[in-house]
Structure 1
């Protein structure tokens, strides 16, 4: 066999010459090895990279309730001539701790000129032509009468949509003012301007603007194009809300699910830890309004047919930041939060939290089956806290599967300590995370071949291949995705050990990211799936029901000649699903032997994901540079030959009898 070595980005591939011998891959569909869990391939959502506010949560107004550290951040006051005190921030303090601030606007046409407040949105507002936009705000008329002119602006300040609204004079209670209008033009970075006319004093709060075309047309809902990308993956689960925001910089900033449910105006805003986590990507306007809260997360799972997997704080803040912990004898409120969440998700309407869920619009239970305790926590302090949670939760809800953290790294002393301790505690799932270069993913394909087949299962909760010498969206290149495709063959082959997996992070805004790589990139109007997105999607939409042997010379195909493979059967459709990665730059031939099957259809479906250049990325200019293409191929003879293009991920679906 004629071979040559090729070094690319630190990886050594075996380049197969024209005289290379045809290899034979033996598939044994009559010898199922393990069930593939319906939750095998899922997604992980965290509010990072403007994933929620400014991302999947479709609200266009930034700092809508004036609760940022700088109360007028995102707003610009214009008045000619300027009059001091025409806009003042009021604070109700302890009387209204969840939403204490509002703006008091004084309009006096005799002394002032035109008074406007303009909101810049999240890196601008993405506006679509001929689409209806729904405006609302809370107001009180303290005195006089004020008219409100609501205008959409393009980047040059031109008006592209407007409506005029009339608050009721003498209205002393907080009242919702609503209006709708259409945009006359498309604009990627628009703005919203409020013009105040007349004479009087008006208090305003919760200033809001949503597009009509939210997911399922829900008022105050999510960006439909971003949700559709998730729905198209057919994920088995959604892990939420994080991630590191679960822990918080300290415990005061941890994610508390109870503060994210109920009326939107009553949800208490907090700073997002990604506001300041990376000085080189400082994002001082990054906060969490919780318009996207736990009810909306559960509803999203319901919509796309995925199991909900909430992660809760275990009484520990981020150990890289403050390392703050709750004393063991003060852990009960955190445990109560977990028990109450189960009631919120599964309880009937006669229970306290089940009643709230029903009042929010979902009388039926969400059928929660899994719950994570802690995120990327480690050390003996985590282990002792997890065991207390485990005892309390299993006593009351033995039906709920618990997911435990194995820390930040997939190997080393911290990992070994937790892996041993959690297995001894018979935890249901151990959450392993991998943020490593492509070489790691190629080398770790056989990671789970020798794991215990019984006992605790593995959840590959966060994985992403980080290519060196890249940054931002360029990190999501084809080399990263190809290495992930290879690694996932090992996860599927060991489906009796690994029962869930999800890439991380999920979303990133081109103008507001903190961390890369990411599965899906967006701007205010567009969504781009990375090559890694299509790898994960191909696995999720070609899951199968049982793994079966896929052997080269009697051994699993896990790197020989830069080839990686896994096989499954789909009992429902009567198909063999074969996934093969060719990490070599050269085309390779493979003879296919299917044992134990009397006959298969002569035509199979072949889906390929490939690029000749390992640095290729999908971008706003070329969103389909690396995208799956499906065609029919003929399977000739008793041992049909498969042609595997260089640098390719291939999925074959073969009908059999």
Structure 2
């Protein structure tokens, strides 16, 4: 009735206020963000969470091992690359008579037959060798470096001068080593030199002074600051990045490395244990896999072998999860098969690996483990048979493995491959067959665009709870919005992964294990992308995806508890994704919530089933307004978690979610 008065009898500004009030009453969304209410019922746990659910996947790709986490700084230290002098440069007036590659024919040296003979008797100037390292050698001022080698010298006469060089070939560290006369016996020698300067692209030089003949092998250089100070060990900062994730397991050695381009290049664990100089080097299958990223100097020396994998898992508190070849080479390459009646050596490798990990020191392989420095067993509980294999030929080979392993070691759970695809004919065939076989765990892989991860946050909601458990063994969002050829782990990809992982966590009663892949990449030597952690010769650079993984792996909880909106899981409605768990150890309710939209969201969480909650919640947020943002190597990180606190009103938490954001919320009780 107010609106019926004379036009000039009612002030215009009051009329506008009245109209605004009417609009707000009938259309509140036009001016205010709708409040979303989520209810968490801690009194109705849906199932227990595997304490080792969130793990890591390691493969020697992108220079992840040699040139990466394995801290050896000399490339081609034993002259076993297909070009024996690759990585080395002769110095001075050395000709073929002065430096020759020889090949031992004795049976005991089949794994490492080549060595270098240096003859200085007929040269009129100093001769030497220079090694370029793996895309250079990262040298740190004040740090000591341990040089070592195997040598044989009939008569004393040659001295070795060892040098660290900067990128301009200036000497920044030096030492001398005086070899003994050894007649026909090989001996080990070592020296320590300290760097006077930092240079990420240094090199190594060796001069031969005096007159005589000397044979050299296993020329090696390690920094003193290896992980736990172990001589000839692992790169400490890279292992620390893994330890910070507090992973429940570490899967090794891959990946396609397990299969090989053909069976001759497959990973054979027995060739990676024992003395380092007796481990047989092979070409890395990523050496020529990608035509646009050819890496002819990429080999596997196996200084990081199965013993070191087990030891690293123990160091960082993770369960070891080795994957073995099932008698099949990569089906994307040769697809080479071992005939079924010749499969016994492959199965024996699996049986012997369990003995190496768990057997007493009185057994053959348990004895070797003890001789390597670990008499206590590694308590292996999980073993994968095959990687991304598919088809009837895989099923029939797996069945033979399963029968024998379950008879001999029923305590070890077998992980079977669901192939390289997450749907389609190959996947559906394997899913049906593996369930009929009642395998323990099925390994599913997902390399997809971010949209796929968002659309599949409910993938496991309807999986059979009585069938095999699931291992989300390899996953990574591959953003097609990347602006450069490297397709780094941008925020769009990481955010979609965070959303997908709420679905894994909500279904942790069936999804027992999960790991991102690949793990490491060297900025100057990568073949595949994206990757969880990028490195250069000096530093480690976590990606946005790393921080997402860390939020889950360091906050796994002990029980799944429902988080619902109107009795439905929060799995994509209005671009929101959420999950919640109960941590009975640390007495916390833990919430992960994701907003994938470009607009802010106002949400509230009501926690039922707990009498007394803390008055505030700990909050960690990952967000940035640019979906293409990533953490560039060598520069300041753009995406990092920020911490804050929020008050609780009785049992309710109000949260104003930023656009494109991931929140980790912990409420103590």
Aligned to 2:540: 527
Q: In structure 1, how many angstroms separate the alpha carbons of the residues matched to 2:173 and 2:408?
A: 55
1:467 correspondence with 2:479: yes
Aligned to 1:231: 243
Aligned to 1:576: 589
Contact 1:79 1:112 in 2 (8 A): no
Q: In structure 2, how many angstroms separate the alpha carbons of the residues matched to 1:175 and 1:99?
A: 15
Q: How big is each residue's C-alpha offset from its partner over 1:300-339, in whole Å with a ceiling of 9 and x where there is no partner?
A: 0100000000000000000011110000011010000000
Contact 1:472 1:516 in 2 (8 A): no
Task: Sort the Cα spacing of 1:315 and 1:623 in 2 relative to 1 into closer, same or farther, 3 A.
Answer: farther
Superposed displacement of residue 598, structure 1: 2.3
Superposed displacement of residue 85, structure 1: 1.6
Aligned to 2:11: none
Superposed displacement of residue 593, structure 1: 1.4
Q: In structure 2, how many angstroms separate the alpha carbons of the residues matched to 1:530 and 1:332?
A: 43
Q: In structure 2, how many angstroms separate the alpha carbons of the residues matched to 1:93 and 1:254?
A: 24
1:458 correspondence with 2:447: no
Aligned to 1:103: 116
Superposed displacement of residue 134, structure 1: 0.3
Aligned mate of 2:267, from 255, 273, 277 = 255
Structure 1 residues 325-364: aligned runs within 5 Å: 325-364=337-376
Superposed displacement of residue 455, structure 1: 1.7
Q: In structure 2, how many angstroms separate the alpha carbons of the residues matched to 1:102 and 1:18?
A: 78
Unaligned runs of 5+ in 1: 1-15
Aligned to 1:284: 296
Q: In structure 1, how many angstroms separate the alpha carbons of the residues matched to 2:182 and 2:637?
A: 57
1:538 correspondence with 2:539: no
Aligned to 1:436: 448
Superposed displacement of residue 636, structure 1: 2.7
Superposed displacement of residue 93, structure 1: 3.3
Task: Sort the Cα spacing of 1:170 and 1:449 in 2 relative to 1 into closer, same or farther, 3 A.
Answer: closer
Superposed displacement of residue 572, structure 1: 1.2
3-state SS of paired residue (2:426):
helix
3-state SS of paired residue (2:357):
helix
Contact 2:478 2:530 in 1 (8 A): yes
Q: How big is each residue's C-alpha offset from its partner over 1:411-449, in whole Å with a ceiling of 9 and x where there is no partner?
A: 000000000000000000000000000000000000000
Aligned to 1:590: 603
Q: In structure 2, how many angstroms separate the alpha carbons of the residues matched to 1:638 and 1:335?
A: 56
Q: In structure 1, how many angstroms separate the alpha carbons of the residues matched to 2:652 and 2:201?
A: 57
3-state SS of paired residue (1:93):
coil
Aligned mate of 2:433, from 421, 426, 439 = 421
1:558 correspondence with 2:571: yes
Q: In structure 1, how many angstroms separate the alpha carbons of the residues matched to 2:379 and 2:623?
A: 39
Q: In structure 1, how many angstroms separate the alpha carbons of the residues matched to 2:264 and 2:332?
A: 16
Superposed displacement of residue 559, structure 1: 0.5
Contact 2:563 2:578 in 1 (8 A): yes
Aligned mate of 2:253, from 210, 230, 241 = 241
Q: Give the TM-score, by structure 1 length.
A: 0.96
Superposed displacement of residue 585, structure 1: 1.6
Aligned to 1:7: none
Q: How big is each residue's C-alpha offset from its partner over 1:212-244, in whole Å with a ceiling of 9 and x where there is no partner?
A: 000000001000000000000000000000100
Q: In structure 2, how many angstroms separate the alpha carbons of the residues matched to 1:326 and 1:649?
A: 47
1:504 correspondence with 2:517: yes
Superposed displacement of residue 634, structure 1: 1.0
Q: How big is each residue's C-alpha offset from its partner over 1:193-227, in whole Å with a ceiling of 9 and x where there is no partner?
A: 00001000100000000000000000010000000
Contact 1:142 1:203 in 2 (8 A): no
Superposed displacement of residue 632, structure 1: 1.7
Aligned to 2:307: 295
Task: Sort the Cα spacing of 1:78 and 1:18 in 2 relative to 1 into closer, same or farther, 3 A.
Answer: farther
Aligned mate of 1:181, from 184, 193, 210 = 193
Superposed displacement of residue 623, structure 1: 4.4
Q: In structure 1, how many angstroms separate the alpha carbons of the residues matched to 2:118 and 2:317?
A: 46
Superposed displacement of residue 640, structure 1: 3.0
Task: Sort the Cα spacing of 1:17 and 1:424 in 2 relative to 1 into closer, same or farther, 3 A.
Answer: farther
Aligned to 1:323: 335
Aligned to 2:399: 387
Q: Which has the larger radius of gyration?
A: 2
Aligned to 1:5: none
Q: How big is each residue's C-alpha offset from its partner over 1:81-120, in whole Å with a ceiling of 9 and x where there is no partner?
A: x444210000013532100000000113x63211010000
Aligned to 1:161: 173
Superposed displacement of residue 496, structure 1: 0.9
Q: Give the TM-score, by structure 2 length.
A: 0.94
Contact 2:533 2:541 in 1 (8 A): yes
Aligned to 1:149: 161
Unaligned runs of 5+ in 2: 1-28
